[in-house]
């Protein structure tokens, strides 16, 4: 797991104006930990924090392929408060019960910190076996979250040599990642031709990424085929942050076959039917642009990172914006002992041009 880092208020960290993301400073009082349901829609006034079903972040969608509690999935994040309304413990005697547990009656800007599970949580549930690297390999395109489970493997640099069917954790360590994340689906203005995305990010000096783990932000544009079913194309623009000793090159360009299906699968970036969760999406063709793969050694303190790309043309477009932590599946064993590292994010931003 990741260590908890205290954060001093920083008056220079003023949220960006003109941001199309909702709740970018995580100040709606939400504080989900450990588990949540994939693709659950949580509106702007969402406050519920209790139980395995009702935990979420207002305006953000959770996704993870690692099932750690029945049908709910792994949440690897903490929230570091930038301002403390009650700085004297004696004040807790005179504030509402929820305030004692961190749910203050006034908005509090937070930094989101994502980290890995360090465990596959092999629960033995037949449908959700987390040690089955080919889980859901027959499912492509967009499909409802309750009609099947997502693939364990979210990213890979190769699917050759039968490694997906291997029982060797050393092989998984070098080639496969399970990615957990928080997403927003953003409506693109009809006149927009480009988008700039980014955030203030930090990898603390005493919390660097474990070798082979990486993290960052990616944007998706999806094209769905009504016929034949099970066909879909995903356009991905991303930047990543890696351990400074990591030398692997992630696949980019146009991916097809297994390489498309085992890279950048996750949630569909369109609105679901009323009252339902967002669908899973496994592309059969993926167009991937890597804008940068940065070293964690360069982010001891917060720095704003932004990149711009051209949008696909059209009207009534949707775009997915996602904060992610990609954990090496070979690292997901508690016997390894060392920490996964932590990815701190403040004020994620989307701007259209």
Tens digit of pLDDT for each residue in 64-78? Answer: 999 988 778 999 998
Point out the least confidently predicted range of 58-62, 65-69, 160-164, 266-270.
160-164
Euclidean distance between CA atoms 353 and 340, whole angstroms? 37
List C-alpha distances in Å: 292 to 58, 199, 241, 266, 308: 29, 14, 8, 21, 12
Euclidean distance between CA atoms 129 and 40, whole angstroms? 22
Which runs of consecutive H residues, i.e. helices, occur in 105-157? none
- Tell me the whole-structure pTM to 2 decimals: 0.89
Domain that holds residue 230: 128-352
Which residues is 142 bridged to in the sheet? 281
Share of the chain above pLDDT 90, in %: 53
Point out the least confidently predicted range of 46-55, 134-143, 149-158, 240-249.
46-55
Residue 227 domain-assigned? yes
Residue 299 domain-assigned? yes
Residue 121 domain-assigned? no
Euclidean distance between CA atoms 125 and 132, whole angstroms? 11
Residue 65 domain-assigned? no
Residue 225 domain-assigned? yes
Residue 107 domain-assigned? no
**Whole-angstrom distance between the N-terminal and C-terminal Cα of the chain?**
39
Per DSSP, the residues of 310-323 read EPPP-SSEEEEEEE
Structurally, the chain folds into a number of domains equal to 1
- Using the predicted structure, report yes or no on whether residue 18 has a pLDDT greater than 70: yes
Instruction: With beta carbons less than 8 A apart as the criterion, state whether 73 and 267 touch.
Output: no
Sheet with 141-143, strands from edge to edge, namely 141-143, 280-282, 266-267
Give the number of other CB atoms < 10 A from CB of residue 90.
7
- Using the predicted structure, report yes or no on whether residue 294 has a pLDDT greater than 60: yes
* 187 φ, ψ (degrees, to nearest 5): -80, 125
* 336 φ, ψ (degrees, to nearest 5): -65, -35
Euclidean distance between CA atoms 239 and 12, whole angstroms? 24
Residue 197 domain-assigned? yes
Residue 331 domain-assigned? yes
């Amino acid at each position: 797991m990741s260590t908890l880092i205290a954060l001093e208020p920083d008056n220079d960290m003023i949220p960006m104006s003109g941001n199309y993301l909702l709740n970018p400073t995580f100040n709606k009082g939400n504080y989900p930990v450990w588990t949540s349901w994939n693709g659950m829609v949580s509106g702007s006034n969402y406050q519920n924090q209790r139980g395995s079903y009702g935990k979420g972040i207002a305006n953000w969608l959770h996704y993870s392929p690692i099932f750690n509690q029945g049908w709910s999935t792994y949440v690897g994040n903490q929230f570091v408060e930038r301002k403390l309304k009650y700085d004297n413990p004696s004040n807790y005697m005179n504030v509402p019960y929820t305030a004692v547990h961190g749910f203050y009656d006034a908005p509090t800007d937070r930094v989101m910190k994502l980290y890995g599970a360090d465990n596959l949580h092999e629960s033995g549930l037949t449908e959700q076996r987390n040690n089955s690297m080919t889980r859901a390999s027959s499912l492509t395109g967009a499909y409802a979250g309750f009609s099947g489970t997502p693939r364990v493997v979210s990213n890979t640099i190769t699917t050759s040599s039968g490694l997906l069917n291997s029982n060797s954790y050393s092989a998984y360590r070098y080639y496969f990642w399970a990615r957990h994340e928080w997403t927003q689906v953003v409506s693109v203005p009809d006149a927009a031709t480009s988008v700039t995305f980014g955030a203030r990010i930090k990898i603390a000096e005493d919390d660097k990424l474990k070798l082979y783990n990486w993290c960052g932000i990616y944007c998706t544009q999806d094209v769905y085929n009504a016929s034949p079913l099970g066909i879909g194309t995903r356009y991905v623009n991303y930047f990543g942050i890696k351990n400074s000793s990591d030398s692997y090159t992630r696949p980019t360009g146009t991916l097809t076959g297994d390489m498309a299906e085992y890279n950048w699968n996750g949630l569909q970036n369109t609105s679901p039917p009323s009252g339902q969760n967002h669908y899973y999406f496994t592309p059969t063709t993926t167009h991937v642009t890597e804008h940068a793969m940065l070293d964690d050694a360069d982010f001891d303190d917060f720095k704003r990172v932004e990149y711009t790309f051209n949008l696909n043309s059209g009207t009534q477009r949707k775009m997915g914006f996602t904060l992610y932590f990609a954990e090496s599946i070979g690292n997901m064993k508690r016997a390894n002992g060392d920490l996964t590292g932590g990815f701190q994010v403040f004020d994620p931003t989307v701007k259209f041009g």
